[in-house]
A and B are shown apart, each in its own frame.
Chain A
Amino acid sequence: MAPPSTRRLGYSRKAQYSLFAVYVLAIAGALLAALLLMLSVIDPRGYNALKTAGDEVTAPISRFLNSVRQTTNDLGENTSAYFDAASKNAALKKQVEASRNLLNEAAALKIENDRLRALLGLLRSDEDGGGLTGGVIARLITSSSTSSRNIAVASRGSNAGIAAGQAVRGPEGLIGRVLSTGPTTSRILLVTDADNVVPVMRAKDGVPAFATGLANGELEIRPINLGINPFKVGDIIVTSGNGGLYAPNIPVGRVSEVMRGGAKARPLAEPARTPYIVTLPVYRPSAVSALENGGDEPGSKADTNTEAEAGSNAQARE
């Protein structure tokens, strides 16, 4: 069968020209889009204001839906907790015993670790990552779940004192860092984003490494000392404080699989199950501003490079 002839416009010049004009417009539209894309590749921060405005518009509804979700979650958990309360109680008692022993061990290790770090001249007297000084408590209300980027939206923004670049943690560990803020919302780059590079170390002995997101919910841990791969399944990874953005000793993940030249880790904090998050002030603002004098976005390739350099410099100083 021949192709349909509906597109043949006959001899009407007007119809021919108007069809041609529509095609020209469509192709011009595609070119304009390509240009916009190029601009946003060159300057990823350029459209943050627009995106933040979009978040502000959708935030009231997602806030409401999020509270509904959490209420129903609680309801389900409470109901199931009622049914297996006795067996759970026994199991928990056993677990408490076991963790008490581990806690004692950990306390001893911490003392030993502090002593060793003091010997190395690495001890920082100001604080450690557990503190909440200057932090803002918020909720995660939604995320970019259709894109390969891992950006979550938190329920509070610059009105509450959140600023771009701050680290974000939940009760279990590091969640990510603030990318940009609006008046009542802020966009958070999760640790699992492939663009988020966190200077970390093994909690046990301080082996320095970098954690990068794999965008599938896992982290890749790469030791700075290439050649040897010290990681074992079960190792706890915490932030090292290098680079000045994240405070040290925030738990990041647990090694789940050892690979060639590194390891895979599961993040300790699950953003989907974390009811509240806390933003922490930038650990060493002077170090960060010195690194950022190029004015790069804390989510662009340039920045991760500078962070990597900072890490290796710190390593070199050791």
Chain B
Amino acid sequence: MKQPSLSPSRRSASAYQSRLNRTGSPFRMRAVPIASVLFASMLPSLLPVISTQPLLPPLGLMMFLSWRLMRPGIWPIWVGLPFGLFDDIFSGQPMGSAALIWSLSMLALEIIDSRAIWRDHMQDWLLAAILIILALLAGLFFVSLAHNSAGAEILIPQAVLSILLFPLIMRLCARLDGWRLAT
């Protein structure tokens, strides 16, 4: 027996059925921030850049800070340890260096968040700039514990580049955030 054909209004409703009242994928919601930080940590060792001085910004740390500043509470506070350890595998720093720096910056941001009255983009940028500079200095210090090391002035180009690039990373983060929460 022949199925009665749908009325025009029914048909258009069914065409939109798949786009209405959907829920986002919980997997994507959780995985996108994590994957983006891990990828940013690996990126400098994927790029064929052979430099004889620190030049590329610490992309993993910047991505990590952007997510944390944009979405406070997205990760538990202890998350600096696993992310930092992953970064240490690829960065060439002594193992544990990024793990310690990222854990401490997570704690510092938590304390600042509990004190701060309001937040805006410029303030986020300033916070990130301070944290990046401190992280680069600490990284150099940790290298100098294990090996002979150079003076802090070699970090200037890298620090300037990182601070100028940070808003771009935040934009990228915001795009990813929109995509991960889209239904």
Contacts and interface: CB of A to CB of B under 8 A. Distances in A.
Interface of A: 1, 3-4, 7, 22-23, 25-30, 32-41, 44, 46-47, 50-51, 53-55, 58, 61-62, 65-66, 68-69, 140-153, 190, 192-195, 197, 212-217, 267, 271-272, 299-301, 304
Contact of A58 (B46, B140, B145, B147): B46
Given A30-B100, A148-B140, A69 B48 contact: yes
What are the 4 A-B residue pairs with the smallest beta carbon separation, nearest first? A144-B92, A36-B96, A37-B96, A33-B99
Interface of B: 42, 44-59, 76-78, 80-81, 84-85, 88-97, 99-100, 103-104, 106-107, 110, 114-118, 139-140, 142-143, 145-150, 154-155, 158
Contacts of B145: 37, 41
Contact of A33 (B54, B57, B96): B96
B80 A142 contact: no
A177 to B, nearest CB: 14
Nearest to A50: B89
A33 B84 contact: yes
A212 B106 CA distance: 37
A30 B77 CA distance: 10
B81 A148 contact: no
Contacts of A148: 53-54, 139-140, 143, 149-150, 154-155
B92 A37 contact: no
A152 B104 CA distance: 29
Given A33-B81, A37-B96, A148-B149, A142 B50 contact: yes
A30 B103 contact: yes
A184 B64 CA distance: 31
B96 A215 contact: no
Contacts of A141: 48
B49 A142 contact: yes
Contact of B95 (A50, A55, A62, A197): A50
A197 B89 CA distance: 25
Given A7-B114, A29-B80, A66-B48, A147 B91 contact: yes
Contacts of B143: 147-149
8 contacts: A3-B114, A40-B146, A65-B48, A144-B92, A146-B59, A146-B91, A149-B93, A271-B52
B50 A271 contact: yes
B50 A37 contact: no
A153 B47 CA distance: 11
Contacts of A3: 114-117
